[in-house]
Amino acid sequence: MPNSFGESELRQYVDRLLADEIIAIAKNYQAGSIVIPERRELREQISSEI
């Protein structure tokens, strides 16, 4: 099924959805800070798991 987003627009959209959800979870648990790994490390971890 084709989408109306270009590749970079889709990436930005997904990034925003993830950020919104991370913030919602942090608020729910009343977290004082949020630590997110660099994307490079995350990609390496996902690749090694696959």
Reduced 3-state DSSP string for the chain: CCCCCCHHHHHHHHHHHHHHHHHHHHHHCCCCCCCCCCHHHHHHHHHHHC
Q: Is residue 24 part of a domain?
A: yes
Give 42's pLDDT tier (boundaries 50, 70, 90).
low
Question: Higher-confidence residue: 40 or 19?
Answer: 19
Domain count, the chain: 1
pLDDT for position 5? 60
Q: Would the pLDDT of 46 be above 70?
A: no
Q: State the residue range of the domain holding 14.
A: 7-49
pTM: 0.58
Using one digit for the tens of pLDDT, what is the confidence trace for 11-39?
A: 888 889 988 999 999 999 999 998 877 76
